[in-house]
Amino acid sequence: MWENWKVNMKNEINTFSDLLLICGQKNKRAYELVQEKEAFLLDTSIDEIRLKVKKSLDAMKNAIKIGLKSDEKSISKQCGDDCKKLQEGFKAHPALFGDLFEKITTYALATIEENLRMGKIVACPTAGSCAIVPAVLIAISEKFNISEDEQINALITAGLIGSIVQTKVSLAGAVAGCQAECGVASAMSAGALVQILGGKEKQIVHSAALALKNILGLTCDPVAGLVEIPCVKRNAFLAVHAVTAAELALAGIESKIPPDEVIDALTQTGQLMSPLLKECSQAGLAKTKTALKIEQKIFNR
Amino acid sequence: MKQSSLFDIISPIMVGPSSSHTAGAVRLGILASNIYGATPKKVTFKLYNSYAQTGKGHGTDKGLLAGVLGFSVEDVRIKNIFDLPEAKEIQYKFEFLEDFNRHPNAVDFIFEGTQKMIVSGNSIGAGNVEITKINGFSVKLSGEYNSLVVIYKDKPGMISKISGLIQTEGVNIATLVCDRTAKGEDASMCICLDAALNYSVIEKIKKIDDMYVVRHVGKLES
């Protein structure tokens, strides 16, 4: 198998169309190709690769578990108790969209709040967008009793989507805005969800494209330069966003703009966005009257 | 193009809140203290630009100290590091500065102890880091490779002596960056290797005449 992979190194999976082509030719699932490639590149076995993925998965579950119980504030004291508020809110008024919605949104807030209080999380793809993939993946897995093996497959699928986007654009708010962080995390989550719910590779790829299309131009304008406002709530919003993309793709709806061209659009949009809106907190939400007041409060403390 | 790995996307497992400002800070601290090569008596951390402005809110100060003390990026004790006994073993202080000729996330470590050493580096995104200067010499060190950092007297044959000893181990040199203050003065070499070097070779390199500093800096955990 390794030899096969070597021969096919020219078939690097750098685009969504490469992926669909190679999956078709080899009659393999996307996650199978990725674990073979990783084993080859890291000179190890597929079992070792899956174990490494499981470590990330376990760390994600642990962050949710701890985060759900905490309302400790962040270093800046601005955030940290939204997850608790939301859980109490759902006790009083169950979510309109049902218990899965409750799980996804509370898990997202639990994880991202753990992040900002310096708890242990998994950057996925970044720390500021770390809650989206775990919220979707773990909420669905619990709801439908998905086996650990299938959860690992889904997390590999999510990682593949991120790495395909990364071949064209750096996944950093400073380079391409939040579309490249929370936006990409949402696309990764959509693909993971489609994988878990039995969708095929084409649907995985289109779910990612649909999720990305609807966050193009998303700015990175954090208040006081901290991964807090609006990052915390955005993680919950974009976790739900991923579910919409997955549902559409599972119904066979495709992105009319081919998935690779959507990445091109994201890349170009990132380049055209003013640097003031890319992580430096010089515009947008970060320069609102209230943001400036918060900033002053934090830095004078 | 460098191959993108799955584990660039679904890791590292780290303490938050920021890969560049927290995990990157820890990794810079680990590399810098490995280059210093001993437990320092005192460290002054000079944080620049974004590291200075938003560092405290991101725990950059805690991360840098944690790295110097050898903590990993996923150590949950980092949050309370200033209260830990480990932190009380050394003296440290932080300076917050602005210098737009420097990288947005730049830091200098000024180590004092048996000797004085200044190590400079940048956090370049997604937890990736680079050490750019050691005592003013230009180097290129990312923690991606096992590396050898040497400072020595500039004279003919030094590069070949050192690389010769590395060759006896059958270890391949991935990249090599040299610098010097002036002809016949101090010179530096930063060698990234495809494998770790044996202790015995490092000892042999240390015994070459006119070597001032020899450090084997291990690869960072991914």
Instruction: Kindly report, residue by residue over B137-159, the tens digit of the pLDDT.
Output: 888 899 989 999 999 999 999 99
CB spacing of A53 vs B10 below 8 angstroms: yes
Whether omega before A134 lies within 30 degrees of 0, making that bond cis, reads no
Residue B179 belongs to what domain range? 146-217
B165 with B213, same domain: the answer is yes
Structure confidence at residue A46 (pLDDT): 97
Confidence of residue A160 (pLDDT cuts 50, 70, 90): very high
Structure confidence at residue A301 (pLDDT): 61
B184 with B206, same domain: the answer is yes
Mean local confidence (pLDDT), A45-50: 97
Classify B37 in phi/psi space as left (phi over 0), alpha (psi -120 to 50) or beta.
Answer: left
Q: Enumerate the residues of chain A whose CB falls inside 8 A of the CB of residue B20.
A: 172
Q: Which residue of A has its CA nearest to B9?
A: A125
Q: Is residue B168 part of a domain?
A: yes
Q: Enumerate the residues of chain A whose CB falls inside 8 A of the CB of residue B125.
A: 170, 172, 174-175
Whether omega before A230 lies within 30 degrees of 0, making that bond cis, reads yes
3-state secondary structure of A120: strand
CATH for B192: 3.30.70.260
B4–A contact, CB cutoff 8 A: yes
Element (H, E) at A269: helix A259-272
B30 with B87, same domain: the answer is yes
Token match 């590069």: residue?
B159
pLDDT tens digits along B25-49? 999 999 999 999 988 999 999 999 9
Structure confidence at residue B1 (pLDDT): 46
Given a cut of 90, whether residue A41 has pLDDT beyond it is no
Confidence of residue A68 (pLDDT cuts 50, 70, 90): very high
CATH for B13: 3.30.1330.90
Q: Which residue of B has its CA nearest to A167?
A: B4
Element (H, E) at A74: none
Q: Is residue B76 part of a domain?
A: yes
pLDDT tens digits along A219-250? 999 999 999 999 999 999 999 999 999 999 99
CB spacing of B19 vs A127 below 8 angstroms: yes
- Cα separation of A270 and A219, whole Å? 9
B184 with B118, same domain: the answer is no
Q: Looking at the domain that runs over A2-299, which CATH code has it been given? A: 1.10.4100
CB spacing of B6 vs A14 below 8 angstroms: no
B62–A contact, CB cutoff 8 A: yes
Q: Is the ipTM of this complex over 0.85?
A: yes
Tokens of A94: 């169950």
B200 with B123, same domain: the answer is no
CB spacing of B4 vs A163 below 8 angstroms: yes
B92 with B66, same domain: the answer is yes
B21 with B102, same domain: the answer is yes
Of the residues B135, B165, B197, the one at which a domain ends: B135
CB spacing of A123 vs B127 below 8 angstroms: yes
Q: Enumerate the residues of chain B whose CB falls inside 8 A of the CB of residue A121.
A: 13-16
Q: By the 8 A CB rule, do B100 and A280 touch?
A: no
B12 with B108, same domain: the answer is yes
Given a cut of 60, whether residue A6 has pLDDT beyond it is no
Domains contained in chain B, number:
2
- Cα separation of A21 and A173, whole Å? 31
CB spacing of A12 vs B3 below 8 angstroms: yes
Q: Enumerate the residues of chain B whose CB falls inside 8 A of the CB of residue A118.
A: 15-17, 22, 59, 62, 76, 78-79
Mean local confidence (pLDDT), A13-24: 94
B115 with B73, same domain: the answer is yes
CB spacing of A123 vs B7 below 8 angstroms: no
Q: At what angle do helices A148-166 and A30-41 cross, to 10 degrees?
A: 70
| Strand segments (E) across chain B | 13-15, 42-48, 91-97, 106-112, 117-125, 128-134, 137-141, 146-153, 173-180, 186-193, 211-217
Amino acid at B179: D
- Cα separation of B222 and B219, whole Å? 9
From B102, B113, B105, select the one nearest B44 (Cα to Cα): B113
Q: Enumerate the residues of chain B whose CB falls inside 8 A of the CB of residue A298.
A: 57
pLDDT tens digits along A78-105? 999 999 999 999 999 999 999 999 999 9
**% helix, strand, coil for chain A, step of 5:** 70, 0, 30
Q: Enumerate the residues of chain A whose CB falls inside 8 A of the CB of residue B126.
A: 123, 125-126, 170-172
Structure confidence at residue A9 (pLDDT): 54
Structure confidence at residue A75 (pLDDT): 86
Task: Output the tens digit of pLDDT for each of chain B's 222 residues.
Answer: 456 789 989 999 999 999 989 999 999 999 999 999 988 999 999 999 989 988 888 999 999 999 999 999 999 999 999 999 999 999 999 999 999 899 989 999 999 998 999 999 999 877 889 999 999 888 889 998 999 999 999 999 999 999 999 999 999 999 999 999 899 999 999 999 999 999 999 999 999 999 999 999 999 986
Of the residues B68, B100, B135, the one at which a domain ends: B135
Choose from A31, A49, A64, A120 for mutation: most chain B CBs within 10 A.
A120
Tokens of B9: 């996307």
Q: Is residue B140 part of a domain?
A: no
Q: By the 8 A CB rule, do B70 and B33 touch?
A: yes
B131 with B150, same domain: the answer is no
Classify B127 in phi/psi space as left (phi over 0), alpha (psi -120 to 50) or beta.
Answer: left
Kindly report the pTM of this predicted structure: 0.91
B21 with B128, same domain: the answer is yes
Amino acid at B4: S
B104 with B188, same domain: the answer is no
From B188, B201, B111, B180, select the one nearest B149 (Cα to Cα): B188
From B73, B79, B58, B96, select the one nearest B27 (Cα to Cα): B73
